Amino acid sequence: MFLLMEDGRRGVADEIIKVCLVHKENMLSPSRSCQIYGRMLDKKTVNMTEQTKSKIGKLKRIKQREKRANKISATEVREGATYQKDIALSAQAEHQTEEIPEPVLCPKLNPVSCGEYTPVIFDIETTSAYSTAEIIQLSAVSGEQQFEGYILPNQPICRIASEKTHLTVENGKLCYKGKAVQCVPKETCMQKFLYFLQAFDNPILVGHNSRSFDCRYLINSLHDCSLINQFVLTVAGFVDTLPLFRSIYPGMRSYSQESLTNKFVGKEYEAHNTTADVLMLQTLLETCNVLMSILLEHSFTSDWMIQYLHYRKQQSFNYSTLICLVNNKTLSKSMAQKVAGSGLTYRHLHIAYKRGGFESLRGLFTEECGGVTRVTKSEKNHSKCS
């Protein structure tokens, strides 16, 4: 029989009694399975009641109420007094009606799914290490198949890049060690590279330190040439061999491709020449017997890389608006990066402070998204910004 809880709900208890009397009059009785299920529900009800009355249960309810309150507070700060009567006529209408964006999360790394892929080793050289740099040399290799392309840049090659790559621009021509090389327009080079990749079954691009360097310049160039969609349909993703070698050979002093080659292959080669780089990386992977399963452990999809680069670009823009707070020591550089990465700019902080001062900034910084705090729960950083 169901347990009758003394919680004031006598109506429910009376109904249960009536049902039991009907069963008795008609010589009906619940089956054994129903009785077992009823006892199980009774036990579950008792346990839930005991839990809610316990100290842990009460603390849990308090935290849930605080979480709901913080969420409502953060939403009010972000949306402002949008629906307030006559808000458009208010002198403070601008900062009261402009919405602050919802929290932005860095895209979670998405590895390439297990399967059969053709590894294609690739490498690029650029005019500099700046985000606006241009590709000047692109090479790839898979087995005996090779690709190489030179591109005459529209910007100067910085001194450090020239010293490493031996590439210079002389009299309007791209030269390698002083000798002119055959160049093609960027669009032609990218299109030929795609044709090269399309000759393989499920190609996956493999590079050393590719996630931090090569991928972003390659994807930016493909975007510029309106070839990014074709690329995503052709290439499953990328593999970065830098973290790969760190994981399988821990404790080494250096994981540069030159150091790894000297240790495992025992050869020297012309580093920072993309053709020599890709051939040597292919040899290095073969020498170390790196299987496809290991490569995939350090892979990421093309779609994820595009989303990640978009996130970093927006974060960089947001950070540029917060430089004044970094310069006057209001925010540390790392904290400003967190603020920028959450989708906030200096203007958003200014609007939030106008709406409710310290408490508004606190609500904005501590807002949760996907179980993660938007910026920080540190009261010290909240008060500094105010």
pLDDT tens string 323-343: 999 999 989 999 999 999 999
Residue 197 lies in a domain: yes
pLDDT score of 8 more than 50: no
pLDDT score of 80 more than 70: no
Give the pLDDT mean for 243-268: 94
| 71 lies in the same domain as 198 | no
Range of the domain at 134: 118-146+186-309
| 137 lies in the same domain as 262 | yes
Beta bridge partners, 155, equal none
Q: What is the CATH number of the domain that holds 141?
A: 3.30.420.10
Residue 356 or 212, more confident:
212
| 201 lies in the same domain as 349 | no
- Residues in CB range of 229: below 8 A, 6 or more apart: none
Residue 64 lies in a domain: yes
pLDDT for the residue numbered 382 = 60
Residue 264 lies in a domain: yes
Residue 258 lies in a domain: yes
| 263 lies in the same domain as 351 | no
Are the C-beta atoms of 121 and 247 separated by less than 8 Å? no
User: Hey, how many other C-beta atoms are within 10 angstroms of the C-beta on 173?
Assistant: 13
> What's the rounded Cα separation, in Å, for the pair 341 and 336?
8
Q: How confident is the model at residue 4 (pLDDT cuts 50, 70, 90)?
A: very low
Residue 21 or 326, more confident:
326
- As for how many domains the chain has, the answer is 3
Q: What percent of the chain has pLDDT over 70?
A: 82
| 226 lies in the same domain as 292 | yes
Give the pLDDT mean for 181-209: 97
| 216 lies in the same domain as 98 | no
pLDDT score of 3 more than 50: no
Q: How confident is the model at residue 15 (pLDDT cuts 50, 70, 90)?
A: low
Q: How confident is the model at residue 354 (pLDDT cuts 50, 70, 90)?
A: confident
Q: Which two tokens stand for residue 200?
A: 């393989």
Residue 323 lies in a domain: no
Residue 377 lies in a domain: yes
Q: How confident is the model at residue 59 (pLDDT cuts 50, 70, 90)?
A: confident
Beta bridge partners, 63, equal none
- The residue type of 19 is V
Residue 68 or 150, more confident:
150
Give the pLDDT mean for 359-385: 79
Residue 110 lies in a domain: no
CA 30 from centroid of its chain's CA atoms: 56
